[in-house]
Amino acid sequence: MPWAQKDDGAWTDPVLATLSDPAYRLHDNCWTYAANKLTDGRISRAEVARVAAMFGLTDADNLTEIIGELVTSTLWTEDLHGYDLVGWLDQNRSRAQVESDRAQNRERQRRYAKKRWKRKPGSSSGETSDG
């Protein structure tokens, strides 16, 4: 399971400290959403709206204003399709890294189970090499 990482000094960051409460909550929730969904810190407009709705921010004009606050503060960058959370990949593992770690863990667990249960290669019936 991926997890979101933030600098443990983020609470003293002057940019974060000046955000309005809804802007801070939107930023923080999108940060963890990006980790959970393996977006590499990239969030579409629809995803931002869904995340905002989770904490009751459903007014479109208000959401636009809050997103503007995040873009102006340089915490987010904006393009035609959505937003990038600035610095996200500096503090978090990329999708490729998470998927690689998962594949390595699956292989390690497969090797351990094979050794532990001494299964014959290709055996699915629980048959062991002891016969």
Rg, C-alpha atoms of the chain: 21
Per-residue confidence (pLDDT) for residue 117, from 0 to 100: 81
Q: Between 45-54 and 60-72, two packed helices, what is the crossing angle to 10 degrees?
A: 110
Which pLDDT score, from 0 to 100, does residue 78 have? Answer: 97
Owner of token pair 């497969």: 110
The side-by-side arrangement of strands in the sheet containing 42-44 is 42-44, 82-85, 76-78
CATH number at 20-91: 1.10.10
Answer for the pair 67, 49: CB distance below 8 angstroms, yes or no: no
Q: What is the DSSP string of 37-53?
A: TT-TTEEEHHHHHHHHH
Query: What's the pLDDT tens digit per position in 10-47?
Result: 788 899 999 999 999 999 999 999 999 999 999 999 99
| DSSP conformation class of 121 | T
Model confidence pLDDT, tens digit, residues 84-106: 999 998 988 786 787 777 777 78
Task: Encode pLDDT of 69-89 as tens digits.
Answer: 999 999 999 999 999 999 998
Domain boundaries of the chain, sorted by first residue: 20-91
Tokens of 68: 């503007």
Q: What is the pTM of this model?
A: 0.74
